[in-house]
């Protein structure tokens, strides 16, 4: 039983990364009708921006003799990196996707892949091929809850992820932009006639998705403090699978599927050899998609015809 | 000064001439009908006025200001509301959300407000909520407030679309076949609704319609569009007697 619960905790942590990244895929898809294949690398860039911000804050704190506690630096790092990475998302939309609004969707998807490669290789050119180790901002403490070992970092990761998802939910439900996003996920024809500009909503969607990816990057850096330029590739693809599994364009679906993916990946090696983990985990997902090709909450077809 | 003035508006889709020298002078508070057989270009006229397409030639002026070439969201914010022939509602959203969403351009709060709920946002949202409720009551859809629009009776969906169009506080309302697919009872209700909108908001209305009886009931002046050209304009009686209109609707043999 303890063993089981232990794995639940681990699955929740992994699920948080997948869910946060999958949300960005899903949000952009619901409006642009294309998966932003640069998103995994936006996550990587977010982690690096987090690394830079944290290092800068640590240096500042030391130089000025402020002695800021790790928690403060971590909170500031998350906030600043989310904002900076959101601007990266706006840039990706402006440079990569806006000129291709009327183009076939395949062209836009290819553009996304290329932007991803540019981010990876740009990072290599800028920082070199060495790996960076994410600063240890908070000291790991382990709590023993009836035989289940939980670290403060794991609690933090899951809590911050859930809080961000709740904030996103509120944003989408309650604010005028959120409602405009939801309406635009249905059509482009009518929404502008309500006085809403696509050139505001599309970049905003990229910004929100990228901000969430940055948060995922920093949380990932806390748990696995090794950064390399290709860290976003596999994680990005897996989160993409979660977005598909949740149902293209579904926010709730993306979050749930992200966690489900975490659970499958953690629990498969309990039964099967761990070298077969991904093979079996993704076979299960393939099987689910065979029966639910549109994912959990996806629509069988979309009314949206262009962009 | 006329509220909406269109002159010499021509539009080509590739080599196909969809609208030819369309003209319209809509005075404040007027209800004007636009009739014509299928494919005559009526909806294209709406799309040209609202900026979905930009006319190849011609002028469109709202209160004396040219709106040709402006983006649809700018034209909407200047005071042009419309509904659609085939009911373009957001089927995954509730009635209340539709009407609230349509207040978008009247809300001014920024992202900080969206994230933290500033007093400004709270005040603005309250005003929007009140106005939305008033509109939903006026269009008799308040009881469906939390329903997804897809689950509503057809006539109610049409009224939601109208409430949404009125939420942008338009000066001119363009209604594209507001009775399409309606039962005779719903049709009678719709006549009442349009009259009420006209009276309570003082909005000028341009109405596309297939059912002649409905147009005759509501409009003092009617235009007939055939193959993208206005072939007749006048009072309902004049239109009914006009041989070109009869020909367009019924075919040549029947007049002979």
- Cα distance between residue B203 and residue A115, in whole Å: 49
Among partner residues A175, A176, A196, which is closest to B73 by beta-carbon distance? A196
**Alpha carbon distances (Å) from B241 to B10, B222, B229, B238, B245:** 27, 13, 19, 5, 8
Task: Give the phi and the psi of residue B139 in degrees, each rounded to 5.
Answer: -95, 10
Among partner residues B71, B92, B103, which is closest to A197 by beta-carbon distance? B71
Interchain CB distance below 8 Å, B168 and A180: no
Return mean pLDDT, chain B. Answer: 88
For A175, the closest chain B residue by CA position comes to B114
High-pLDDT (> 70) share of chain B, %: 97
The whole-number pLDDT of residue B256 equals: 43
Into how many domains does chain A fold? Answer: 1
pLDDT tens, residue by residue, B146-186: 999 988 988 889 999 999 999 998 999 999 988 888 888 88
A176 interfacial to chain B (CB closer than 8 Å): yes
- Three-state secondary structure call for residue B95: helix
A223 interfacial to chain B (CB closer than 8 Å): no
Could you read off the pLDDT tens digit of each residue along chain A, which spans 307 residues?
778 888 899 999 999 999 999 999 999 988 888 889 999 999 999 999 999 999 999 999 999 888 888 899 999 999 999 999 999 999 999 999 999 988 888 899 999 999 999 999 999 999 988 889 999 888 889 998 888 889 999 999 999 999 999 999 999 988 888 889 988 887 777 888 888 888 999 999 999 999 999 999 999 999 999 999 999 999 999 999 999 999 877 888 999 999 999 999 999 988 888 888 899 889 989 999 898 888 888 766 554 433 3
ipTM: 0.76
- Is A146 a member of any domain? yes
Interchain CB distance below 8 Å, B93 and A182: yes
- Is A212 a member of any domain? yes
Q: Which domains does chain B have, with CATH numbers?
A: 4-255 (3.40.50.300)
Chain A interface test: which of B78, B98, B101, B146 (most A C-beta within 10 Å): B101
Interchain CB distance below 8 Å, A192 and B76: yes
Q: Which domain holds residue A142?
A: 18-228
pLDDT tens, residue by residue, B193-229: 999 999 999 999 999 987 778 888 899 899 999 888 8
Q: Residue by residue, what is the 3-state secondary structure of chain A?
A: CHHHHHHHHHHHHHHHHHHHHHHHHHHHHHHHCCCCCCHHHHHHHHHHHHHHHHHHHHHHHHHCCCCCCHHHHHHHHHHHHHHHHHHHHHHHHHHHHHHHCCCCHHHHHHHHHHHHHHHHHHHHHHHCCCCEECCCCCCCCEEEECCEEEEHHHHHHHHHHHHHHHHHHHHHHHCHHHHHHHHHCCCCCCHHHHCCCHHHHHHHHHHHHHHHHHHHHHHHHHHCCEECCCHHHHHHHHHHHHHHHHCCCCHHHHHHHHHHHHHHHHHHHHHCCHHHHHHHHHHHHHHHHHHCCCCCCCCCCCCCCCC
- Is A281 a member of any domain? no
């Amino acid at each position: 039983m303890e063993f089981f619960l232990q794995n639940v905790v681990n699955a929740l942590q992994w699920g948080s990364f997948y869910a946060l990244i999958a949300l960005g895929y899903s949000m952009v898809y619901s409006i642009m009708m294309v998966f932003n294949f640069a998103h995994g690398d936006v996550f990587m860039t977010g982690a690096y921006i987090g690394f830079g911000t944290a290092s800068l804050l640590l240096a500042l704190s030391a130089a000025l003799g402020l002695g800021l506690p790790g928690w403060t630096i971590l909170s500031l790092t998350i906030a600043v990196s989310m904002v900076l990475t959101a601007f990266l998302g706006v840039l990706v939309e402006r440079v990569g996707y806006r000129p291709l609004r009327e183009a076939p969707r395949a062209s836009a998807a290819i553009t996304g892949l290329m932007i991803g490669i540019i981010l990876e290789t740009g990072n290599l050119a800028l920082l070199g091929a060495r790996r960076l180790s994410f600063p240890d901002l908070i000291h790991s403490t382990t709590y023993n809850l009836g035989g289940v070992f939980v670290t403060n970092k794991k609690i933090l990761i899951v809590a911050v992820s859930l809080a961000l998802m709740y904030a996103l939910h509120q944003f989408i439900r309650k604010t005028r932009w959120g409602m405009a996003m939801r309406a635009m996920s249905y059509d482009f024809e009518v929404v502008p006639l309500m006085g809403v500009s696509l050139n505001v909503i599309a970049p905003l969607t990229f910004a929100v998705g990228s901000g969430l990816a940055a948060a995922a990057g920093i949380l990932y850096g806390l748990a696995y403090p090794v950064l390399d330029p290709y860290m976003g590739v596999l994680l990005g693809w897996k989160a993409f699978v979660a977005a598909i599994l949740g149902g293209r364009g579904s926010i709730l679906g993306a979050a749930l599927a992200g966690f489900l993916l975490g659970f499958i990946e953690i629990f498969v090696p309990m039964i099967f050899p761990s070298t077969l983990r991904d093979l079996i985990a993704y076979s299960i997902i393939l099987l689910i998609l065979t029966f639910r090709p549109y994912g959990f909450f996806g629509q069988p077809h979309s009314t949206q015809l262009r962009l | 000064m006329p509220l909406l003035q269109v002159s010499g508006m021509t539009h080509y889709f590739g080599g196909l001439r969809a609208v030819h020298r369309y003209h319209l002078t809509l005075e404040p508070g007027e209800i004007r009908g636009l009739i014509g057989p299928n494919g005559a270009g009526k909806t294209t006229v709406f799309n040209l006025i609202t900026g979905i397409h930009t006319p190849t030639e011609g002028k469109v002026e709202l209160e004396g200001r040219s709106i040709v070439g402006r983006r649809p969201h700018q034209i909407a914010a200047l005071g042009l509301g419309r509904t659609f022939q085939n009911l373009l509602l957001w089927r995954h959203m509730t009635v209340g959300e539709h009407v609230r969403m349509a207040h978008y351009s009247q809300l001014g709060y920024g992202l900080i407000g969206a994230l933290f709920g500033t007093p400004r946002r709270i005040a603005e949202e309250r005003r929007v909520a009140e106005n939305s409720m008033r509109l939903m009551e006026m269009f008799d859809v308040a009881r469906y407030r939390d329903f997804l629009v897809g689950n509503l009776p057809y006539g109610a969906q049409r009224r939601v679309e109208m409430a949404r169009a009125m939420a942008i506080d338009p000066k001119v309302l363009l209604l594209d076949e507001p009775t399409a697919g309606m039962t005779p009872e719903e049709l009678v209700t719709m006549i009442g609704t349009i009259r009420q909108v006209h009276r309570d908001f003082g909005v000028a209305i341009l109405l596309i319609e297939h059912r002649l009886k409905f147009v005759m009931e509501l409009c003092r002046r009617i235009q007939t569009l055939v193959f993208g050209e206005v072939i007749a304009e006048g009072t309902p009686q004049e239109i009914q007697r006009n041989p070109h209109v009869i020909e367009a609707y019924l075919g040549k043999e029947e007049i002979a």
